[in-house]
Amino acid sequence: MKCALAICILLCALPAAYAQGATSPKPTSRPEQNHPEQTQLNQTFTALENTFIRAAKKGDIAFFQRTLADDFSFVDSDGQLHDRQEMIDARSDPGFDILPYNMKVLPAGEDVVIVTYDVVLRVPPEEDQGPPPRYQHFSTVWIKKSVAWQMKFQQMSVSHWGDW
């Protein structure tokens, strides 16, 4: 009899527990809506990466000298590894015109953040000597040095060949 009573109580309690679970708030599909610190991180590093893009378009050497870590390195879309000075030299002339989209910010540690995004590279015809891949994917590693964030590494990977 006690066993039957326990089963009856359990069966009566299950629908109530299920209804309580159905009315509790569900997490949203976007993690930054649940975590304000993620939203702040996204805003900060999207702004930093956009500053890099504007500096590359203008040929702003001062930005690169200030922002690139002393041991900065990058992999260009040709797969070759380059150092800090090569980035400064490559971006010293205006005209590196990229259109970023699908930017994502990923924390990788206490003082390390990865920003990854797709780009459309737009090269003017007069500068085009064998077109580079138009559709690329950029990934940048940012590190915190004392109070400032610096670029430590960047990789530019081909997403799609052709379509010029």
Q: Is 134 part of a structural domain of the chain?
A: yes
Q: Is 25 part of a structural domain of the chain?
A: no
User: Residue 80 to residues 59, 63, 75, 129, 135: CA-CA distances in angstroms?
Assistant: 22, 23, 5, 18, 18
Per-residue DSSP letter, 116: E
Q: What is the pLDDT of residue 44?
A: 92
Q: Which residue range forms the structural domain that includes residue 123? A: 33-160
Q: Is 51 part of a structural domain of the chain?
A: yes
Give the start-end residues of each E strand in 52-111: 68-75, 81-83, 97-109
Q: What is the pLDDT of residue 10?
A: 37
For residue 59, which amino acid is it?
G
Q: What is the pLDDT of residue 90?
A: 86
Classify burial at 66, counting beta carbons within 10 Å of its beta carbon; exposed 0-12, middle 13-18, buried 19 or more: exposed
State the pairing for strand pair 97-109/68-75.
Answer: unpaired
pTM beyond 0.85: no
- pLDDT tens-digit readout, 14-46: 344 444 444 444 444 444 455 777 788 899 999
- pLDDT tens-digit readout, 109-134: 999 999 999 999 876 655 555 666 67
Q: Is 10 part of a structural domain of the chain?
A: no
Domains: count for the chain: 1
- pLDDT tens-digit readout, 71-99: 999 998 888 999 999 999 988 888 788 89
Q: Is 11 part of a structural domain of the chain?
A: no
Task: Specify the CATH number for the domain of residue 141.
Answer: 3.10.450.50
How far is the first Cα of the chain from the last one, in angstroms, to the nearest whole number?
Answer: 80
Q: What is the pLDDT of residue 82?
A: 96
